[in-house]
Amino acid sequence: MLTNKAKYGVKAVVYLAGLPPGETALIADIAARNNIPKKFLDAILLELRNAGLVRSRKGPGGGYALARSAREIKVGEVIRALDGPLVPLACANAETAVSCEDCATMAVCPVRMVMSEVNDAVSAILDRTSLSALVAQTPVPRRRDAWAYEI
């Protein structure tokens, strides 16, 4: 299940991806526009900066921006930076598979088999979906209290 931290992180980077080139956003603006608690967003953006996904600049004209192009950053990368691996069960990820206490043999466990398929499907979607694709599907704020869809 997606944590609030990852959900808010995705919302924040999608907001940054929608900014005009070269523009930055203040934490307070990102938080207000996306209904994210500011203090929580501070911690989220710090983790995303440490992961190389966003950059920050201090002083006049400062704020946060994406560290790379919105086309290059995938949703899966953002979620993993905040939540770790995208697995429904510890045994479902081929790279980090850990046997469950009640499982005699992982190779023939029916629960692991289906959860591995779920893991692969979710990962495939998140790893091919860029921030720019989400921006293209997101309503564009015209005013603080009004939303319109861009066609």
Q: Does the residue 147 lie in any domain? A: no
Q: Does the residue 46 lie in any domain? A: yes
Whole-model pTM: value is: 0.83
Q: Does the residue 150 lie in any domain? A: no
Asked if the model's pLDDT at residue 143 lies above 50, the reply is no
Which residues lie across from 63 on neighbouring strands? 57
Q: For the chain, how many structural domains are there in total?
A: 1
> What DSSP string runs through 50-90?
HTTSEEEE-STT-EEEESS-TTT-BHHHHHHHHH----SSG
Q: Does the residue 149 lie in any domain? A: no
Which residues lie across from 92 on neighbouring strands? none
Which residues lie across from 56 on neighbouring strands? 64
Q: What is the pLDDT of residues 9-67, one digit of tens each?
A: 999 999 999 999 889 999 999 999 999 999 999 999 999 999 999 999 888 878 999 99
Asked if the model's pLDDT at residue 70 lies above 80, the reply is yes
Give the domain CATH number at 57.
1.10.10.10
Tell me which residue range forms the domain holding 134.
Answer: 4-141
| Sign of the torsion formed by the C-alpha atoms of 99, 103, 104 and 109 | negative
Q: SS3 of 146, please? A: strand
Q: SS3 of 136, please? A: helix
Mean pLDDT of the region 92-99 = 68
Question: Can you tell me the distance from the alpha carbon of 128 to that of 52, in angstroms, rounded to the nearest whole number?
Answer: 19
Question: Can you tell me the distance from the alpha carbon of 95 to that of 115, in angstroms, rounded to the nearest whole number?
Answer: 14
The structure tokens 């990962």 sit at: 123
Res 3: pLDDT:
93
Question: Can you tell me the distance from the alpha carbon of 120 to that of 92, in angstroms, rounded to the nearest whole number?
Answer: 9
